[in-house]
């Protein structure tokens, strides 16, 4: 798991996902497109070695990356 290599934007997206935010809401809050949100999530999944946002959030919570 390469969680220490998550960018600040990736951490922000992961945090918002963990609070139940939809892609459209995340895009609006971050000033980015929904496609960019999806790209950040794909990068997060790859770096964390997980298949989806549920697994990413669970691992982030267990690892103390987010609270």
pLDDT tens, the chain, 67 aa long: 555 689 999 999 999 999 999 999 999 999 999 999 999 999 999 999 999 999 999 999 999 999 8
CB 56 within 8 A of CB 3: no
Residue-level pLDDT at 67: 85
Residue-level pLDDT at 32: 98
Whole-model pTM: value is: 0.90
List, in order of start, the domains of the chain with CATH numbers: 7-63 (1.10.10.10)
In order, the DSSP letters of 26-58 are HHHHHT--HHHHHHHHHHHHHHHT-SSHHHHHH
What is the chain's Cα-based Rg? 11
Cα–Cα–Cα angle for 55, 27, 49, rounded to 5 degrees: 25
Please tell me the total number of residues recorded for the chain in this structure.
Answer: 67
Residue-level pLDDT at 64: 92
């Amino acid at each position: 798991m390469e969680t220490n290599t998550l960018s600040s934007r990736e951490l922000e997206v992961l945090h918002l996902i963990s609070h139940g935010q939809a892609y459209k809401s995340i895009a609006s809050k971050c000033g980015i497109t929904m496609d960019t949100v999806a790209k950040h999530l794909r990068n997060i999944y790859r770096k964390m070695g997980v298949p989806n946002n549920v697994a990413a959030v669970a691992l982030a919570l267990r690892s103390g990356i987010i609270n």
